[in-house]
Amino acid sequence: MSKMKRYEFIDSNDITSTYAGEVADQFFAAALEAAASLNNGGVTIMEGITHKQVLPTVNISDPVGEAACTLPVEGDNITIAESVLTLTDLAVREDVCIGALVPLWHSYVRSASRNDIVEPRFIDFLLAQTAKAVGQSIERGIWRSSAIYGTGFQSDDGTLDETGALASAFGGFSQVDLANPLSADGAGSTVGILAAMADVLNSAIANAPAILDAPGAGFYLGREAYWFYAQALSAAGSNAGQQTGTGYSSGNLQGLTYQGFPVYMCPGMFADTIVLSYPGNLYVGTSAQTDFNDIRAVDMRGTTGDDLIRIIGRMQVGVQVANAADGVFATSVWS
Using alpha carbons, select from 317, 255, 257 the residue that is nearest to residue 285.
317
Cβ-contact 98, 125 below 8 angstroms: no
Q: What tens digit of pLDDT does each residue of 248-260 get? A: 444 445 678 899 9
Using alpha carbons, select from 281, 282, 276 the residue that is nearest to residue 259.
276
Give the pLDDT score at 173: 97
Residue 44 CB burial class (10 angstroms; 0-12, 13-18, ≥19)? middle
pTM score: 0.80
Q: What average pLDDT does the segment 188-217 reach?
A: 95
- At residue 104, does pLDDT exceed 90? no
Cβ-contact 53, 84 below 8 angstroms: yes
Give the pLDDT score at 117: 61
Q: Where are the alpha helices (DSSP H) in 14-115?
A: 25-33, 98-114
Which range is most confident: 7-21, 220-234, 285-299, 300-314?
Answer: 220-234
Convert 142-155 to b/e letters by CB count within 10 Å (16 or more is b): bbbbeeebbbbbbb
Cβ-contact 63, 299 below 8 angstroms: no
